[in-house]
Structure 1
Amino acid sequence: GPGTATWLGGTGTILLGGFLWLRKFLSRDATDRAMDNADIGTVRRLNELLDSERQARKEAEARADQFAKERNELAAAVGRMEG
């Protein structure tokens, strides 16, 4: 009868609403996961840049130490020549 049609229509509406909510929820969850992955990628890239900067600084310090050593040796040699 007419009550059955109303009941089926109401059930269909509830099911459709639940499906749309679930789809939106899962989509938002996927978006959150994508953002988490992007954040992880960004942090990983920043760590790589930091490591490369540290390595470059170590190399620059080693060159500066070598330069200072050579300068000191040269100053000692000049001192021996003058003395």
Structure 2
Amino acid sequence: MRYAWIDQQVGRYPLLSLCRVVSVSVNGYRAWKRGGKPGRTRLTDTQLLRLIRAVHAEVKGAYGSPRMTGEIRDRGFPVSV
């Protein structure tokens, strides 16, 4: 609801000022405006660690962080190096 209000007011006032008034970040507003990715599945740190260990075992330790990152992304999970 805060972001929708900001969206209505953004033509009249600076975005930074509006975000400060309702205590949200400019990045948060911009992410809301983009719409995000509703089908995205996020993992907890514990789940991610289990997945990394499972992939590591599957490939017998052959993957470094770039290939591991790609493998996890290919499985549908957003990760970074």
TM-score range, shorter chain: under 0.3
Q: What TM-score results when the alignment is normalised by the length of structure 1?
A: 0.21
Task: Choose between structure 1 and 2: higher helix proportion.
Answer: 1
Higher relative CO (Cα under 8 Å, sequence separation at least 6) belongs to 2
Structure ID, larger Rg: 1
Q: What TM-score results when the alignment is normalised by the length of structure 2?
A: 0.22
